[in-house]
Every structure is written in structure tokens, then in C-alpha cells.
Chains A and B, each alone.
Chain A
């Protein structure tokens, strides 16, 4: 693998990590803490939405995020031909 390809691969990884961490931050710190009070005006069944994000929604999102990251990284590995056998 050339140095340029390595740098490009790493850049793509960083972009993906930053994107995922923005979502990570928004669902937990944003929806679950900073804006929970405002979101609580909205209802999800018996859940106030901010409360739901803090005790349920953020956790579900974390799970999805990790699998999304793993899936995208596998694609990236194949694209740069650095996947393992």
C-alpha cells in the first residue's frame, strides 16, 4: 500500500468516526441531557421523548452506530484492498 493510499484510507476512517460520534453525541448528550426538557413536551406513548432518549433511545442508537461503523469500515477495507483473509 502506498503512503498516499494509506493517508487517504485513514482520512476516510476519521471522517466516518467523526460522523458517527456526532450522532453519538446528539442522541445522548443532546436529546438525553441538554435538550431533554424541551423534548419532553413530545410524547412517545407513555414516554416523554427526552426521558426516552436518556433511558432507552440512546442505547439503541449506540448499538446501531457500532454495526454501521463496522459495516462501512469493511467496505472501506475492501475498497483499499486492506481487508484480512
Chain B
């Protein structure tokens, strides 16, 4: 069977599954639409959270990021998992105890302020909408790459699927499709990883394989071999730190705080039956996430080694040490067609030289007759996408990777869209503009808001604004500097009041936005940067991506100072705080 037909079958089967689930789990009340009736068992909710959290970026881009950054990419591994500890201990159980539908709703109630609620809605929509553009792009790319349809056709197909299950089922439909999508994506991610680990090291578990010796008879550890191969070719060693320590530290912290503060993740824990379930469900979520996140470093390192060995087939500097252009494997030519991989025979020897920028190596390279690195483009995304082909795996595995990438993008997009639409229908409409509307009218409004959000996201996916690539910095920066501190203080401080929270959120948000825009241009418009985005220009060496943690600190400090200078919260708010801190009270 041809690869394309196989891919259509596998992707088509997963879509049919999602639609069946959608029809079976229609939402009849606002409670079902917003929080799946609070009836999702903790393990299943953990699985849904895994799919909700792991986006097209986690599935497609992260291993490639690790492959080219090596040790420095650890910030993403720790940052995007460590946030779950903060969620489990500082936010999720208490917010579940409060038992309402949205994140801005808690902020509005706790700070007895419509202003606080609106600020939270604005932060939520900005963070989620920018994030969703990336998912839409991922869906389009996966379709056009594997099914060879036009990018826009792929995107519309994805939108239709999300439309069916998210508009019909709300959180209930999204939850049960996310569980199915988790199974698809984790299977698609681990199968090629297991095969590659077996080929390179003889160990089936990639987590063990990465720390083992090579199966090529050299008896050398894989990571040592990778370090050596890279250094011999003028790249920096894989396991050695390249960036500054302060930036690694703050970037990890920003990603952790941002993860814990992302509303579409937080609301997943509103769907479990009890506070006790909320605690363990975060643990299960991290188990399911860790399966992918501990596999990714192995995929990255092994793919990098495979790539190096594909091109450098013999000793460095020997006339026959580099692969002939006419001999490159078929995956190489296939991916060159997509433009993600590109070579250029600069010295006209009919062979490819791939080497790094180290100055010490440049003289050596010149003495070999090399005239520059000839791999002019190696897109990091192909590290996962081309992996099954590089390892010569059967077609069904390649088809599975396509379905997995689409599942990762769809599940995250649906979760984000739900967070956006519920903040529109529940926080803005029901909460502020039309408090009197009936449950049925609100349910209708939430469906319309969902449909509208999908259309906006689809439009932005088709016409991505110039800043699409900067989205991660913005989404995490906003969540870290505005939402997380407001939630945490709302639970852990009885003294934090409305003025403190609003000014704190605005200060954290404002400082983070200004810092990002300072180096990346105002609203990401090219040419409006105040300073070039280079390490020597950064304040104390802090990159714009890493500033969220500083923004959060500013938020905390401002909120505490203002709160202590103004009147304490009224008594019923203090009782509210006492009540959410204890699981079993208030109901007996």
C-alpha cells in the first residue's frame, strides 16, 4: 500500500473516532459545557491534560530543539514539567474546591472586582489566542506534508473536526476526544523512538538507550560519541552548557510559572469530582506528559547522531569521508523537496560537508579544501518528522506520526478554544453584561462563542500575523506575570485586596510586555525594536523569553505593597479564602 493511502486511512480513522466520541458526549447544561459536569475520573483527566498540554510544538519541535541545543534545551524539559508541581501544590486543589467554571471568575470573586475579572479575561484571551495560532499552523503543516493537500485545505479540515466536537460537547466532548488523542500521539511518538533506540544501542527504552553504549561495536557511550562527533566537526559539545546560567535559571522559572498559570491547563482540574482527585490528577497528568518528555531527549540526541553519520560517512578530512550527493538516502531528497532541508555544494567536489562554526576548526576545514558548511538549511522540525524514514521504519509508522502530530495540535487547540469561549460567554456575558440570562441561553451563547473563536483562530492560522513565531514568549510571559501571581495570592494571602491585585497584574503584565517588545519590536512590528535582541543588550543577561519570572516578582511586590497600604478585603472574602483552603468544609 502506498504511503499516502496509508496516511489517509490512519488519519481518517482517528477523525472518525473523534466524531463518534463527539456525538456520544454532547453537553446538555452549562456545567457539562464548561467543566464536563465535574465527573471526569482523575486518571482520565490526567490523560486529557497530557493531550491538552502537549501541543504541536511539544510533538514536532521539541526534540529538534534538543537535538540542536543539547544540554541548553534542558530548560524546556524542566520548565514545561516542573510547572505541574506548582499547579498541584499551589493552585489546582484550592481552585477545584472553589468549584466555579473559569479562571477569571475566581479572580473576579476573590478580589470582589469586575475590573480584576476583565483584566484576567484580557490576559487569558491574549495568551490563548496567540497560542492557538501556532496549533492551527501545525495542523496545516501536518496535512500538507503528509497528505499532500493544500495548507488551507488541511487547516479547514482541522477546523471542521474541532467545530464538531467542541461546539457540540464543550468540555465534555473536548475531554473525551483529548483522551483518545493522547493515546494516538503518545503511541506515534514512542514507537519510532523505541525502534531507533534499539538500532543504535540495543535498548528498547529510549530513556535507558540514551545513557548506554553504542551497538556499533565501538563500546563507546552514545552521549560521549555524540560529543566527539560534534566537536570533531567544529560544533560545540552536546552535553556542555552554552548559554549563561542566570538566563537558564530564569527561563526555566518563567516556563514553570507560566505553565502553572495557563488557564486552559488550570480549567482541566475543575472537571474532577473532588479536591483529593484534583491533587492526584495533576500527578497523573505529569506521568502521561513525562512519558513523552523523557523520551524526547533520546529522540533529539539519536536523531542528531543519525544526521551527522548520514553525511560524515568516514574520517573527518579524508577525501572520501563525506557522502556523495548522488548517494544521499531517499528521505534526504524527500525532505529537500519540502524546503526544510537544503544543501549547496560550495566547493564543487560532489560531496556534502556539514560542519560547525568553531574558529579553531575553520583553518582545518580550509586545509581540507572545504569552502563552508554545505548544509545551508536543516530545519529542526524534521528531526521528529523524518525520524521514521531515517530509521527505515515501515510506512504505517510514518502514517502514525502524521496522525500523532495532528492529534497533538487538535487537542491543544480545542482546550485553548474552550478557555477562550467560556471566558467570553461566562465571564463577559453572564458575569458582567447580562447577569440575568438563563442557563439555556448561556449554553447557546457559549456554543456561539466557541464557533466564533474557531473562525477567528482559523482566520489567524490562514493569515498568521508576523509575530506567530514569538507566540511562546508572549503566552508564557503573560501567564507567568499576570495570572499565576493573582491566583496564588488569592489563595495564600488573606490580605491581598482588589486594588493590590489589579495594580499587581497590570504592573507584571506591563513590565513583561515592554521588555519583550523592547527587543522584539512594539507589537512585534519589525524595525521598532529599541535594542537589538542580542545577549549583550539584555538587562543582566535576561532574554525576553525569560522575563516572565521577573514580571511575576514585580506583580507580587506591587500587589503586596498596595494591599498593605489600602483597606483589607471584606469579611466574607476572608471567609471565602479560609473555605477554599480546606477540602471537606462548607458542605456539611
Chain A residues with a Cβ under 8 A of chain B = 1, 6, 9-10, 13, 17, 20-21, 24, 28-29, 32-34, 36-37, 40, 44-48, 51-52, 54-56, 58-60, 62-63, 65-67, 69-70, 73-74, 77, 80-84
Q: Is B210 interfacial (CB-CB < 8 Å)?
A: yes
Contacting residues of chain B (269-310) with chain A, CB-CB under 8 angstroms: 274-276, 279-280, 282-283, 286-287, 290, 293-294, 297
Q: Collect the chain A residues with CB atoms within 8 Å of residue B74's CB.
A: 32-33, 51, 54-55
Partner of B293, one of A20, A29, A59, A73: A59
Once the chains bind, are A82 and B582 in contact (CB under 8 Å)? yes
Q: Would A46 and B584 count as touching, CB distance under 8 A? A: no
Binds A, one of B135-143, B219-227, B328-336, B401-409: B219-227
User: Min CB distance, B250 to chain A, in Å?
Assistant: 10
Assess the B85–A83 pair: CB atoms within 8 A.
Answer: no
Give every chain B residue within 8 A of A59 (Cβ-Cβ).
77-78, 81, 290, 293-294
* Complex contacts, A37 vs chain B, CB 8 Å: 241
Task: Answer whether A17 and B584 are a contact pair too, CB < 8 Å, given A24-B82, A45-B211.
Answer: no
- Please, how many angstroms separate the alpha-carbon atoms of A58 and B71 in the complex? 14
Q: Given contacts A6-B578, A17-B90, A84-B584, is CB(A62)–CB(B210) below 8 Å? A: no
A13: which B residues are within 8 A, CB to CB? Answer: 581
User: Which residues of B sit under 8 angstroms from A80, Cβ to Cβ?
Assistant: 582
> Do B85 and A66 have beta carbons less than 8 Å apart?
yes
Question: Chain B interface residue count: which class?
Answer: 35 or more
Please give, as numbers and ranges, the residues of chain A lying within 8 Å of B71 by CB-CB distance: 36, 51, 54-55
Q: Complex Cα distance A32/B84, Å?
A: 17
Give chain B nearest CB distance to A1 CB in angstroms: 6
Q: In the assembled complex, which residues on chain B have CB atoms less than 8 Å from the CB atom of A73?
A: 93, 276, 279
Bound CA–CA A80/B279 (angstroms): 18
What is the CA–CA distance of A63 and B297 in the complex, to the nearest angstrom?
17
**What is the minimal beta-carbon distance from B226 to any residue of chain A, in angstroms?**
10
Return the contact of A47 from the options B81, B223, B253, B585 (Cβ within 8 A).
B223
Partner of A46, one of B224, B248, B252: B224
B207 within 8 A of A: yes
User: Complex formed: what's the CA distance from A62 to B285 in Å?
Assistant: 11
Q: A46-B222, A58-B82 are in contact. Are A84 and B290 (CB under 8 A)?
A: no
Question: Known: A67-B280, A84-B274. Is A46-B210 also a contact (CB below 8 A)?
Answer: yes
Once the chains bind, are B283 and A67 in contact (CB under 8 Å)? yes
Candidates B239, B241, B282; contact of A66 at CB < 8 Å: B282
Name the contact of A82 in the complex, choosing from B82, B210, B283, B584 (C-beta under 8 A): B584
B213 at interface by CB-CB < 8 Å: yes
Task: Decide yes or no whether B160 CB sits under 8 A from chain A.
Answer: no
Bound: A17/B94 CA distance, A: 13
B433 at the interface (CB under 8 A from A): no
Contact B245 A47 (CB under 8 A): no
B368 within 8 A of A: no
B221 and A46 contacting across the interface, CB-CB below 8 Å = yes
CB distance from A12 to the nearest CB of B (A): 11
Query: Who on chain B is nearest to A20 by CB?
Result: B89
* B290→A46 contact, CB < 8 A: no
In the bound complex, residues from chain B placing their C-beta under 8 Å from that of A45 are 211-212, 221
B455 within 8 A of A: no
Set of chain A residues within 8 Å of B294, measured between Cβ atoms: 55-56, 59-60
Distance in Å from the Cβ of A17 to the closest Cβ of chain B? 5
Decide: A62 and B286 in contact? CB cutoff 8 A.
yes
B82 adjacent to A84 (CB under 8 Å): no
A74 to B85 Cα, complex, angstroms: 17
6 closest pairs, A vs B, by CB?
Answer: A46-B221, A54-B74, A70-B279, A66-B283, A45-B211, A82-B584
Task: Determine the distance from Cα of A28 to Cα of B77 in the docked complex, in whole angstroms.
Answer: 10
Q: What is the chain A residue whose CB lies nearest that of B93?
A: A73
A56 lies within 8 A of B297 (CB): yes
CB of A55 within 8 A of CB of B297, answer: yes
Nearest-CB residue, chain B, relative to A43 = B221
Is B249 located at the chain interface by the 8 A CB criterion? yes
Interface flag for B510 (CB, 8 Å): no
**B88 surroundings in chain A (CB, below 8 A):** 66, 69-70
Among B66, B245, B253, B293, contact of A34 (Cβ-Cβ < 8 Å)? B245
With a CB–CB cut-off of 8 A, which chain B residues contact A6? 578, 581-582
User: Would B211 and A28 count as touching, CB distance under 8 A?
Assistant: no
8 Å CB interface, B430-473 against A: none
B89 adjacent to A69 (CB under 8 Å): yes
Of chain B, the residue at the smallest CB distance from A44 is B211
**A70 and B249 in contact, given A9-B582, A59-B290, A59-B294 (Cβ under 8 angstroms):** no
A74 contacts B276, C-beta separation under 8 Å: yes
A-facing residues in B569-588 (Cβ within 8 Å) = 578, 581-585
Residues of A within 8 A of B286 (CB): 62-63, 66
